[in-house]
Structure 1
Amino acid sequence: MINLLGLTGSLYMLQVYDRVLPSHSIPTLTVLSIAMAGLYIAYGLLDLLRLRLLARIGRRFDTSLQPAVFALSVSLPLRSGQEGTRLQPIGDLDQIRSFISGSGPTAFFDLPWLPFYLVGIFFLHPLLGALATAGAIVSVLLTLVAEGLSRGPAKRAMESSISRKQLSDAGRRNAEVVRALGMGPRISGLWQDRSEAYLANQLRISDVVGATGTVSRTWRMILQSLMLGLGAYLVIEGEASPGIMIATSIMLARALSPVDLVIANWRPWVSTRQSYGRLKQMLRNADAQEAPLTLPRPRETLSVEAVSVGAPGQQKPIIQNVAFSLQAGAGLGIIGASASGKSTLARALVGAWTPLRGTVRLDAAALDQFDEEALGRDVGYLPQDIELFEGTVAENINRFNANASADAVVAAAEAAGVKQMILRLSDGFQTRIGEGGSALSGGQRQMVGLARALYGDPFLVVLDEPNSNLDGEGDIALGAAIKGVRDRGGIVVVIAHRPAALANIDTVLVMAGGTVQAMGPRDEVLAKMTRPANVRPEQAPGGERAPTVVTLHDRRP
């Protein structure tokens, strides 16, 4: 209807020139003007309705994909590693919604009506139709040129935009380090280099689209004048009326206006097309995984079967052939030098990293057989880098579960020995902690993270360096928390450098070079770890004795 009503101006001028002017009829002009105004009002209302519909379609499109896209954005770094961090599914969704909600799609709705207008011009006069068709072909070719010239720069601009955003986010997250180490100017220089690359590509796209748009508009004005000139010639020759001359010029302008609009919206259209392709591929890969069945909550064992794990997106293993089994109520401490693979093993135990080979099982079921939310209910995890979220202390402890009971939150805080500390905060459990828990000290963040790990009495609790920021009281509370998990029949795995974290642990596993070097009763393994090797002291340069070598005697897995 919008495109049919777009003929109003042409028909109005045709009637004015061919009926009103020859007859000098004021009533005819009045009636035609009233009809014209009514049709244009209808045109405006329908165009407004179309824009409002597009805005709501964009919103519904966004709303329907929000859960899947957010889940995708969270899981990509765990599946694809560094490459996954370069993909921005939420940004892609925003780009698609923004384009759908704007005026860009209207150009593509109107563009198919171009032949209809050309046929209308042919009906008025074949020569005028031929000229209009030739002009339309040139305009369409200009659009295709814009496509070809802007495709490469658009892709590079997207990549450089993601790169500069990643650097900006990293600088914001590590603002304290940047300031303390005087890295601000250097980080700023890196960001400026990436911004220059981004702006250069954006400038290239702008130049291409701007030049193509200018040429298209110039050509359209020339074409309209040529249409008027040819129309005038036909009027002089008596082959057309003045009304036809004016009407065909207006129809041509209406026919070519979508082409100009397409060129003007070409840059967002190219970005939207790229975003749609990426998002479609990512969602297709995610949908390929079938939803697991709901399994009973684990209650008996944790089994690690010849597990080899590498960083997401990498095939080189960090740990290899790790195998052990724990029964309900067990406590395992994992020790070893830095970079021995302890944290990698922790990530595999909680399902954050998928093993390259082997399987981690809870009660005989592999972790990937559990629904993600159900598995999270039965797993407690305190990572080495404590990540808290903007919100209240209670929300962080209950994992932002809107249906969580206050009793469960308080119980988790008591289990972690952090209840009194929380109550001393300005608003107690309702204290807002800021982004990353910036309102709390390092020890407070670690204890709140421990309470979050213990929330809901999970069967498996994995704690990675849980006492790195704790004082003596914190160590005591941590020991009590570990004992509490074991007493209720849960399994605790503690990764530690400080012996205080192993106070209520009965079994210790030693890692070195990504493999298990020893596993057994805590006191026995620790004694072997500290037993001096049977080596003969050698004289060091300068007459000093060489340091005593400490080695691990029992290296059986």
Structure 2
Amino acid sequence: MKSANGARTTVLAPQLSVVLKKGLMGAVVFSGVINLLALIGPLFMLEVYDRVIPARSIPTLVALGLLVIGVYAVFAVMDIIRSRVMVRIAAVFDDALSAEVFRVIAGASLKAPMAGDPLKPAHELDQIRNFIAGPGMVAFFDLPWMPVYLAVCFYIHPLLGGLTLCMIAVMLVLTWLTDRNTRRLMQESAQVLSLRNQFGQQTHQSAESIAAMGMASRACGYWQQHHARFTALQRQAADVGSFYGGISKALRHMIQSASLGLGAYLVIRGELSGGAIIAASIIVARTLAPAEQIIGTWRSLLSAHLAWQQLRGVFSLFPQPQAKTELPTATQSIQVEGLVVSPPGVQRLTVQGVNFTLAAGSALGVIGPSASGKSSLARVLAGAWQPLRGQVRLDGAALELWSEQARGALTGYLPQSVDLFDASVAQNIARLDAAADDAAIIAAARQAGVHELILQLPQGYDTPVGEGGVNLSAGQRQRIALARALYGEPFLVVLDEPNSNLDAEGERALAQAILAVKARGGIVVVIAHRTGILSVLDQVLVLEQGTQAAFGPRDSVLARPATVPMAVPKVGVAGGVQ
């Protein structure tokens, strides 16, 4: 598989591929033993009807019966082991790709605009795992034994072999017809399911607006539209599958009866024994069983195949991270050179030709009208987006030279739309680090001025914030997200409208936090909409329609006639905004 830039990527690690191949080879071996043991049934019938009954030998019948019981016991053990092997192969496959699927879910919106259900890759992996662990995959292991059973049919009599061969040809045609008539339905139903689930997530997130403005019945109408279309497509696919599946079952029963009739004819002509009739009937049914099972599970096979194609497509956008030389911690500067930015997957420039340098201990305010590219710039500086052209460098090293973990430790980011996880306050501040030091968590909270507020919560730092921070107010969420951005004392702190939900006390805490980062030699970049925070910033960058209109010391930039007048508040003794 190749990534978008042509680099070779590996979906499964080589060692894991070896494990899977060994597991599959084991399943193939078990299938071979099971198919060989399945011949004991017709052989038993042959011996009973051709030898035991004519000889009227009870001891022979008992001996054959005990032998068959032993063989079927081994058959059962082998079948159970094969099923368990397939379940474990499916689990290994799932474990191998689950991290890749999470990377897609977490990062897809940073590569291209999201369309459909964001959890679709996880559903697709579930489909593949269920197919591998189910009976459909086992049928493919039995399929290579069809020629063996067909050869046995020809050995019993050429006419029986020819009858079975004709039926195999009919089964192949039925399989082709099943695929041709279900593939489009399955593809379309997968797309409609994705749209339905996406709309469901949107309504869940917009529950307050829906309830407040009486939109529930109309939203339900949209949901019902998608759901009805999905169920209709599923019903059509099921109808097609059941139609051809029913035909294949009927034909198998018919061919089994036909083999009995043909066998009787051959017995009358003296070309076959009575026991061979029963044996041939069983062998014919066994020959056709894998094809019939494949037709019956074709929808699952097709769903798994389509899911794998989709996963391969999205995996190509996320090549495996390469090991990188560990660089020393940045402590000196950030340089932005000729930055050109476009939202992922969108042919529209939001930032063009931005250049500036900040030394350690600096604080920059980025101002400008709405849609001037301020948030786009913040996302690139924080490493969330990749620029189209230009570079962002920390101590001279471009961001892509740092590993994701190392760059994350150097960066603190507060997005415009605060996003908290359904975990405790402490876990959110610690960036979900299970090994985080409690002292570092509390230090970040103190620096954000939120320590006392957290202590007032029902369980303090162990208080669950709920999904998206629903248990907290907007201001509390923003201040806890600020503490998360400051956790670990990162060198670069990027804050996108950090005071949008803050009261006067929160504004003062934010100003103190910025001053603290400057004092320890860090760099702060603040996307400023409310002007009060500018009083604690050294530099100002003005963006207009995505271009750099002005950059320099705060007072000189704001004093320029071309700059929109912005009053600079006074800073109190403690550094708070007055």
Matches within 5 A, 1:369-384: 369-384=401-416
Q: Does 1:522 align with 2:554?
A: yes
2:336 to 301, 304, 319: 304
Deviation at 1:523, TM superposition (A): 2.6
Report the AA paired with residue 324 of structure 1. F
Structure 1 residues 491 and 254: alpha-carbon distance in aligned structure 2, compared to 1, 3 A threshold: same
* 1:339 and 2:371 are equivalent in the alignment: yes
- Residue of 449, 454, 460 corresponding to 2:481: 449
Deviation at 1:83, TM superposition (A): 4.8
Asked if 1 retains the 8 angstrom alpha-carbon contact of 2:551 and 2:557, the reply is yes
Which structure 2 residues correspond to residues 266-415 of structure 1 after superposition, within 5 A? 266-287=298-319, 290-415=322-447
> What residue in structure 1 maps to residue 493 of structure 2?
461
Task: Indicate whether 1:128 and 2:132 are aligned.
Answer: no
Given that 2:111 and 2:317 are in contact with CA atoms closer than 8 Å, whether structure 1 keeps it comes out as no
Q: Please state whether the residue corresponding to 2:318 is helix, strand or coil.
A: helix
Displacement, 1:335?
Answer: 1.2
Match of 1:210 among 242, 263, 287: 242
The answer on whether the counterparts of 2:116 and 2:191 sit within 8 Å (CA) in structure 1 is no
Give the alignment's Cα RMSD to 1 decimal: 1.8
Task: Show the counterpart of 1:90.
Answer: 122
Q: CA deviation at 1:81?
A: 2.0
Question: 1:86 touches 1:163 (CA, 8 Å); kept in 2?
Answer: no
Match of 1:231 in 2: 263
For the 8 Å contact 2:425–2:464, the answer to whether it is kept is yes
CA–CA distance in structure 1, aligned partners of residues 212 and 562 of structure 2: 38
Q: Which residue number in structure 2 is paired with residue 490 of structure 1?
A: 522
Q: 1:234-273 alignment to 2 at 5 Å?
A: 234-273=266-305
Distance 1:210 1:281 in 2: 31
For residue 466 of structure 1, report the CA deviation from its aligned partner: 0.6
2:20 maps to: none
* Distance change (3 Å), C-alpha of 1:157 and 1:400: same
Code of the aligned partner of 2:226: R
Q: Would the alpha carbon gap of residues 188 and 180 (structure 1) be closer, same or farther in structure 2, given more than 3 Å must change?
A: same
Q: Output the CA distance in 2 between the equivalents of 1:85 and 1:509.
A: 38
Query: Does the aligned pair in 1 maintain the 2:366–2:528 contact within 8 Å?
Result: yes
1:517–1:530: structure 2 CA closer, same or farther, 3 Å change rule?
Answer: closer
Q: Do the aligned partners of 2:116 and 2:198 also contact (CA within 8 Å) in 1? A: no
Corresponding residue pairs, total: 535
Q: Among residues 160, 179, 202, which one is paired with 2:192 in the alignment?
A: 160
Find the aligned partners of 2:559 and 2:459 in 1 and give their Cα distance. 47
Q: By how many angstroms is 1:530 displaced?
A: 9.3
Q: Distance in 2 between matches of 1:355 and 1:217?
A: 59
Residue 536 of structure 2 is aligned with which of 494, 504, 512? 504
**Amino acid in structure 2 at the alignment position of 1:47:** D
Which residues in structure 2 correspond to 1:17-166 (within 5 Å)? Answer: 17-83=49-115, 88-166=120-198
Cα offset, 1:504, TM superposition:
1.1
Alpha-carbon distance, 1:64 to partner: 1.9
SS at match of 1:509: strand
- What is the DSSP-based 3-state SS (H/G/I as helix, E as strand, rest coil) of the residue aligned with 2:549? strand
Contact 2:469/2:477 (<8 A) preserved: yes
Gaps of 5+ in 1: 533-549, 552-557
Deviations 1:300-347 (A, max 9, x none): 111111111111111321111111111111100111111111111111
Structure 2 residue 48 is the aligned partner of structure 1 residue 16 = yes
Question: Could you tell me which residue of structure 1 aligns to residue 13 of structure 2?
Answer: none
Note if contact 1:114-1:255 (Cα within 8 Å) is conserved in structure 2.
yes
CA deviation map 1:216-275 (0-9, x unaligned): 001111111110100010011111011111101101111111112111211111111111
Conserved? CA contact 2:37–2:71, under 8 Å? yes
Using the alignment, how far apart are the partners of 1:241 and 1:353 within structure 2? 78
Is there any run of 5+ residues in structure 2 with no aligned partner, and where? 1-32, 567-578
Paired amino acid for 1:425: L
* Alignment match of 1:171 (pick from 196, 203, 221): 203
Distance 2:335 2:310 in 1: 38
Task: Confirm or deny: 8 A CA contact 1:315 1:356 kept in the other structure.
Answer: no
Distance in 1 (CA, whole Å) between partners of 2:131 and 2:363 is 55
Contact 1:77 1:83 in 2 (8 A): no
Q: Equivalent residue of 1:80, what SS?
A: coil
TM-score by length of structure 2 reads 0.90
Q: CA deviation at 1:13?
A: 0.8
Tell which deviates more after alignment, 259-268 or 469-478: 259-268
Contact 2:340/2:389 (8 A) holds in 1: yes
Q: Aligned partners of 1:77 and 1:531: how far apart in 2?
A: 34
